A and B are shown apart, each in its own frame.
Chain A
């Protein structure tokens, strides 16, 4: 076979994907970076000649923008409370479903996974009514244990916990599947040996399950965190960022600035700050993992 032919065939197969990624991903990323140093606004939208470089002005302005700090705080609240909670529920469900005592595993897996595949917007609409202070089923059920009249989405203290709770309900099935795969890779004789030596279920969990699952957990933590930093549809549909901006997320703020007020320079800077935060947090997690593994 002619080597040159082979190479040109490889390029033939690669070209559509590489071209699409270059034009519709890489160029926009670079353009967004450049835009974040300009005053691109609604006037520039009509005529690109109005765009001017402003250096770090957008970034400096963001640092002095109370709404940005509010959105950042809310987003971290969602990631730090919602992320570990989701992962813990996923792990719990995976361990229960992995038990040899359980039958009908396929059925339970299917049911737990249903919220994952359903459309987030529809689920947010649905939960808005579930959280209704007067007619919602949540307050009705809580009434049986004496908790009454919480205005879940109308109270600034409860709106974010409500969104977190819904996110856990919606997402735990996804990581559960990955955890189940991880659990099945743990050799059975490790547990047998531990049982013979009289280790309790908790000790086995702490000394076998958790360490053996560490790579899986790292992977899950990173993808969950990246996903949770991009919180958008839930507050957009359920609260519009309210009440009192208590559920305004970075992406929602970015959307409002960019596509409602057309402050696209400012919005690009917000997008890059989000990217930067995600990058830093991912790197920290990888580093922590490496150090604990040594």
Chain B
């Protein structure tokens, strides 16, 4: 009996989670105006790709998709290198002021990103980087959270491995590149997913620095489209599917690493 009630609750919750997505996907395959009916329809009368054709042929969505992809991949790669080097230095080197420097960095996490946005915008504008990919990549290069995650992971790696490599005559950089990076692979994958998704889903910053239509990311383009096509339900749903689908696939493929990362990040440091 207890078990049945449990399953009823769990399944109802699962339906509530999925229903909006199901409705979104099926509406995206309807002809224009078809979803504006009562009672709402959960399946198209006639399956059509006209909304998607519209998005890609008329509304430049391929370009936005490409922008989102380029930015998410670049930020991920650059920040993985920058953060892993710093995390390695904090975990495996001893230098004066190390502890206080690390604590100082951690304390930065309490500052909301919005505080930096106005001067950062002015700075990038002076550098002529507004409406360029650098406007998103540069502020995303280093993250305290990333450094923290990698440091915690590397602390558990025995020093003897590094000492052995040194005796073999490996340089510091060789050790980082050929020993540490491969050893840190699990945490790097986790951090890569976090960064990729964070960049893909980010809205406020790209909204500020990508003001030129051709530089929009998918979320910025979608919000903009909403202004113009606010009655055009089917088109907007197709746009949402295009925005959500890539990130959902990445998540489903790599969910184990992602969930592990959340739990690691939540362990008090």
**Hey, which bits of chain A sit against chain B, CB under 8 A?**
1, 5-7, 9-14, 16-18, 20-21, 24-29, 31-32, 35, 45, 93, 96-97, 99, 101-102, 108-115, 117-123, 125-130, 134-137, 140, 169, 173-174, 177-178, 181, 215-216, 219-220, 226, 229-230, 232-233, 236-237, 251, 254-255, 258-259, 264, 267-268, 271-272, 274-275, 278-279, 282
Contacts and interface: CB of A to CB of B under 8 A. Distances in A.
B222 A125 contact: yes
10 contacts: A25-B108, A25-B116, A28-B117, A102-B10, A119-B222, A135-B36, A140-B38, A181-B266, A233-B204, A264-B118
Interface in B186-240: 197, 200-201, 203-204, 208, 218-220, 222-223, 226, 233, 236-237, 239-240
Given A181-B266, A279-B110, A232 B203 contact: yes
Contacts of B258: 117
Contacts of A20: 82, 138, 141-142
A278 B110 contact: yes
B38 A13 contact: no
A190 B187 CA distance: 33
> Which 5 A-B residue pairings sit nearest by Cβ, starting from the closest?
A17-B86, A31-B119, A10-B93, A28-B116, A9-B172
Contact of A113 (B9, B27, B255): B255
B203 A114 contact: no
A166 B12 CA distance: 17
- Could you say which of A125, A135, A258 has the most chain B C-beta atoms within 10 Å of its C-beta? A125
Nearest to B211: A259
A125 B35 CA distance: 15
Interface string B91-131: 00111000000000100101111111111111100000000
A112 B10 CA distance: 10
Contact of A267 (B93, B118, B144): B118
Contact of A32 (B18, B88, B116, B239): B116
B85 to A, nearest CB: 4
A177 B110 CA distance: 22
B248 A96 contact: no
Contacts of B138: 20, 24
Nearest to B109: A226
Interface in B2-42: 2-3, 6-7, 9-10, 13-14, 16-21, 23-24, 27, 35-40
Given A119-B244, A254-B114, A271-B114, A215 B268 contact: yes
A220 B268 CA distance: 11
| Candidate in B39, B82, B218 with the most chain A CB atoms within 10 angstroms | B82
Q: Which residue among A14, A135, A233, A271 has the maximum number of chain B CB atoms within 10 Å of its CB?
A: A14
Contacts of B197: 117
